[in-house]
Amino acid sequence: MSVGRLCSRIVATASASENIRTAAQRMFDQEVGTLVVVEQPGHAVGILTDRDIALRCVAGHVDPGETSIAELMSTPPHSVDEHTPVEDAVTRMAALGVRRLVVTGEDNRVVGVLSLDDVLEQIVGETGAIGRLLKQQKPGILA
């Protein structure tokens, strides 16, 4: 399965010049923990997570109203093409020590975000279906 089939296609974005307070409010309003920082036309330049805000801003005693996203975002954003196999993307996440990858499409434009949670949900769904199939095929095998 490709990353493009599994990733979230709804991407919350921000501009590097916005302040952290605005970013946190956007995360709250859109119920997300990640903002992809983009420049026109749709190319990712960074990524900001709720963890970045907690550790780099709040714990660092930085004023969120006076600090730009550019000062706290992780850059460059780690990305993967939408046609990449999920297994390769997970290997990349592990090697980089990240839980999210920006998914890009034609002309390197942002088309989604793949999170470790997306992958885990897929695995749980597949293993559950396999378990149900085995139970139907061989009664008592999973009882």
Region of 86 (left: φ > 0; alpha: ψ -120 to 50; beta: rest) is: alpha
Residue 143: the pLDDT is 54
Structure tokens at 143: 């009882």
129, 86, 90, 42 alpha-carbon torsion, rounded to 10°: -130
Residue 141: the pLDDT is 55
Q: Which H helix or E strand runs over 88?
A: helix 86-96
Residue 15: the pLDDT is 97
Contacts of 131 (CB under 8 A, 6+ apart): 142
- pTM flag (> 0.75): yes
* CATH fold label, 3-114: CBS-domain (3.10.580)
Residues in the chain, pLDDT under 50: none
Residue 132: the pLDDT is 74
Residue 125: the pLDDT is 78
Separation in Å, CA 50 to CA 4, 41, 119: 24, 25, 20
36, 100, 88, 11 alpha-carbon torsion, rounded to 10°: -40
